[in-house]
Amino acid sequence: MKLNEILGQSKMGIMAVLMLPLLLLAISGILFIYQEVSRLWSKSAVQNKVVVITDAISGLGKECSRLFHAGGARLVLCGKNWEKLEILYDALISVADPSKTFTPKLVLLDLSDISCVQDVAKEILDCYGCVDILINNASMKVKGPAQNISLELDKKIMDVNYFGPITLTKALLPNMISRRTGQIVLVNNIQGRFGIPLRTAYAASKHAAQGFFDCLRAEVEEFEVVISTVSPTFIRSYHMYTEPGNWEASIWKFFFRKFAYGVHPVEVAEEVMKTIRRKKQEVFIANPIPKAAIYIRTFFPEFFFAVVACGVKEKLNVPEDRLLVKMAA
């Protein structure tokens, strides 16, 4: 009798071990299906909407363009390089169903040149006569000690990250207010909430943008205009577009990209789409540590400052020619 009980327990144990991988696979499959359904649902929220994307030729800009174009949006793609805009245009129309999509319109826009933004805004409005969704994606960052960064570079970063987006927003906002509809999405950065060493100019510009759009949110609520901010830690660069139109992500990328260092442009683009569908006001894309840092900065500032100051001394003497300056979100 005891032998039979032992054998029975052994069989149950073996079955449990065999069932675990199947259970994990089933859960993974359900999660994958849920995200695909959610993605399709999100696309319907932008169908026939006029969507303006700044810096559409960046990694995130391309992913947003692909996602919104497939969702049936009437895209106005802005960038400062016409040749790259045309490459993006060709890639989009080569993979889309022309019966379900609109041909994107291209507009040259360099947000570092504030004097041209007003004229570009008129050109954007002339495309369809209105704007339903504005995605402020263009951004520039610099890494280096504050004393090594010239005032000229500080001003350029503020132009691209702050004055450029708010100038374009102010130019397009009256159209939304008069129609009592619209949504403005700022792709910001978690450094809009707290700064870290060697990012003085970048963090300052992101703080300024965050403050502006937080205030604007309250001002335009009565006109049913939604203001959203999407703040990742940082968006990692990648070389995904080796073949025009080759944007199909495998199931393996779906499962493993969240464990990689940095936030993938695909993930941020999908979050922007969800933010628009749900009309969310603020989204952070970060693992628990950066999110916890926001609260530590608020409630335990002295501890936060002590932690971020650790290990900075040896990095302060960086020659000016080694400063890292690039377009990024």
Query: Could you give all domains of the chain from N- to C-terminal order, each with its CATH number?
Result: 35-327 (3.40.50.720)
Q: Is the dihedral of CA 116, 118, 122, 125 positive or negative?
A: positive
Reply yes or no on whether the pLDDT at 18 is more than 60. Answer: yes
Distance in angstroms (rounded) separating the CA atoms of residues 47 and 155: 38
What does the pLDDT read at residue 233? 85
Instruction: Determine which of 101-110, 124-133, 188-197 has the lowest per-residue pLDDT on average.
Output: 188-197
Residue-wise pLDDT for 50-78, tens only, equals 999 999 999 999 999 999 999 999 999 99
Residue-wise pLDDT for 245-280, tens only, equals 444 444 444 434 444 456 889 999 999 999 999 999
The larger pLDDT score, comparing residue 17 to residue 213, is at 213
What does the pLDDT read at residue 139? 86
Reported confidence tier of residue 311, pLDDT bands at 50, 70, 90: low
Instruction: Determine which of 110-119, 210-219, 288-297 has the lowest per-residue pLDDT on average.
Output: 288-297
Reported confidence tier of residue 329, pLDDT bands at 50, 70, 90: very low
What does the pLDDT read at residue 258? 42
- For residue 277, which of 46, 35, 67 has the smallest C-alpha distance? 46
SS3 at position 101: coil
SS3 at position 290: helix
The catalytically annotated residue of 34, 202, 261, 295 is 202
Per the annotation, the verdict on 202 as an active-site residue is yes
Strands 105-108 and 74-79: parallel
What does the pLDDT read at residue 43? 57
What does the pLDDT read at residue 242? 39
Residue-wise pLDDT for 34-45, tens only, equals 555 555 555 568
Q: Whole-number mean pLDDT of the chain?
A: 83
Distance in angstroms (rounded) separating the CA atoms of residues 185 and 278: 12
